[in-house]
Amino acid sequence: MSSTSLEGHRALVTGGGTGVGRTVALKLAQAGAEVTVCGRRLAPLEETAAMADRVSYAITDVTDEAAITELFEKFGPFDIVIANAGGTQSAPLTRVNLADWQQTLNVNLTGVFLTFRAALAGLKGRPWGRLVAIASTAGLKGYGYVVPYCAAKHGVVGLTRALALETARGGVTVNALCPGFIDTPMTEESIQNIIDKTGKNADEATRALTSTNPMGRLIQTDEVAASVMYLCGEHSGSINGQAIAIAGGEV
């Protein structure tokens, strides 16, 4: 993967301040791409940009259509777009109100729609492009107590498969990566939520999540980033419309 050269390419990573987004952004920059990371919090974005040359940042809410338009006008066009921004909260469906439902769909699904739509406008007439959505195993199966998140991620997988058919003849591929539970701040929040609601200690709460992976561990951000790099590499042109599980055999 280290031999992949992305010199001359411009990349966008949404949710690029922490976790998977940060790791992906740094890998793309190390391969020579000019990378823009965006998110809603300034400090993490500044930290990411300080970690490598070729990384710039922009405060952007991916659920805001005008903000996405402004982002692409100022920093684009991009030929590599990684739609990574997302988030979740845990509750049984009977305790999910309409605002929480809509918020989860907005961040995890509508954000991908707005990002990819803007990306395609900039890719018109170009012979090559890579759109990658960071989805989840929650887009391939169900998990209790995160119904809105599962619904949103299933939507991302459907969006990916449909859009891939629209772009297939033009050199632009569209794929989704579907990791299991990843070693990120969002998973740390999930572990703390388990501790708070069940009384389990940290080790027990962590095991409750890692038990879904037959390998018995959390997925590492480097593993997701390596898959992004493969999809951007020279031998990936026929990988299109796929939802690729990175989950140790869970799916």
Q: Which residues contact 180 (CB under 8 A, 6 or more apart)?
A: 136, 137, 212, 213, 218, 219, 245, 246, 247, 248, 250, 251
Among the listed residues 57, 145, 149, 230, the single catalytic one is 149
Following CA atoms 156, 160, 166, 171 in sequence, which dihedral angle do they give, to the nearest 10 degrees? 140
145 is catalytic: no
Report how many helices (DSSP H) and strands (DSSP E) the chain contains, helices first: 9, 7
Cα separation, 82 vs 78, in Å, equals: 10
| pLDDT per residue of the chain (251 residues) written in tens, 0 to 9 | 446 899 999 999 999 999 999 999 999 999 999 999 999 999 999 999 999 999 999 999 999 999 999 999 999 999 999 999 999 988 999 999 999 999 999 999 999 999 999 999 999 999 999 999 999 999 999 999 999 999 999 999 999 999 999 999 999 999 999 999 988 777 777 777 777 777 778 777 788 778 889 999 999 999 999 999 999 999 999 999 999 999 999 99
Whole-number Å distance between alpha carbons of 35 and 32: 9
Angle between helix 19-30 and helix 221-231 axes, rounded to 10 deg:
50
DSSP 184: S
Write out the two tokens for 228. Answer: 């992004």
Query: What CATH architecture applies to the domain 10-180+221-242?
Result: 3-Layer(aba) Sandwich (3.40)
Domain definitions of the chain by residue range: 10-180+221-242, 181-218
Q: What is the pTM of this model?
A: 0.93
